[in-house]
Copies of this chain bind each other. A is one copy, B any other.
Amino acid sequence: MGLGMAQSLLRAGHRVHGVDIDEARVAAFRDDGGAEGAPADVAASLDAVVTVVLNGPQTEAVLFGEDGIAPRLTAGTVVMSCATITPSLAQNLEARCAELGLLYLDAPISGGSLKAASGDLSIMASGSDAAFSAAKDVLDATAATVFTLGAQAGAGSAMKAVNQLLVGVHIAAMGEAVAFAKTQGVEPETVLEVISQCAGNSWALENRLPHIVEDDYAPRSAVNIWLKDLGIVEEICAETGLTPHLARTALAQFQKAADDGRGREDDAVVVKVYAGEADIAL
């Protein structure tokens, strides 16, 4: 998704430096028009830094770790953080950026790599007016929808976690329902046809059940994403008194899929965990 956002920014006419642990990908991005220069050398010239990494620790490392870019940036530069992280880490990063005179936009993204490439992401953002203003060109180039969730970092990450809680539970519930139907002789395609027109419908069901119908588990979104994102839900809940009963149950099912060696497969493959438990073919 970082590559797609970088391409969208290029298309909008900006100078864009791409950084990735995969050097070949950086080289390919430069062939497409990406700017030359190592992060340390160009940092002081940047108006915005967009971090699109796996999780909170990676975000923290990119900004404040050894060779982190934050201390090299010019005061007033905006740091836009797009990974799914805890609200408390987002607040922590906002405060540490402020100490350096930097603006911080808590801006988790949703939509997948295709929408990143076409500049049509949904972004759940919170931060100061100054951070929103400084990030405006980036938001305009990469997002179809920006939800403005408050003047402080944390609210954006909280809403992203709410969304992930629901999507994760809905995908696992879809797998549970499809396996349940199969035990009663009802095929997945019939479930899709009927339930997509009934009260049991969800975005997750409409989006993922076709993968089961087509028996195609090439990853559009992988099982491992849910170990991470439902793990973040658990991490946030550990800071509160809330027990996320359903998210925890869904996480356990995704964990079983990963334990079966399916972590890199499409998350709809969770249906096979249920099928295995019930000893049915799916």
A-to-B contact residues, CB < 8 Å = 87, 110, 122, 124, 145, 147, 149, 154-155, 158-159, 161-167, 169-170, 172-174, 176-177, 179-181, 183-186, 190-191, 194-195, 197-205, 207, 233, 236-237, 240-247, 249-250, 252-253, 274, 277-280
Count of identical protomers in the assembly: 2
Contacts of A280 in B (CB 8 A): 240-242
List 8 additional contacts besides A159-B181, A245-B252; criterion CB under 8 Å: A162-B180, A162-B191, A169-B176, A172-B246, A173-B247, A180-B236, A198-B203, A242-B274
Q: Give the docked Cα–Cα distance between A233 and B147 (Å).
A: 38
A202: nearest chain-B partner, CB-CB: B202
Q: Give the docked Cα–Cα distance between A166 and B170 (Å).
A: 8
A178: nearest chain-B partner, CB-CB: B162
Q: Give the docked Cα–Cα distance between A165 and B201 (Å).
A: 11
Q: Does B149 lie within 8 Å of A180, measured CB to CB?
A: no
Known: A163-B200, A242-B180. A155 touches B122 (CB 8 A): no
Q: Does B195 lie within 8 Å of A166, measured CB to CB?
A: yes
Can you list 12 A-B pairs, Cβ within 8 angstroms, ordered by A?
A122-B197, A158-B186, A162-B186, A165-B200, A167-B199, A169-B169, A172-B246, A180-B244, A183-B241, A240-B280, A242-B274, A243-B274
Partner of A194 from the list B149, B154, B177, B253 (CB cut-off 8 Å) is B149
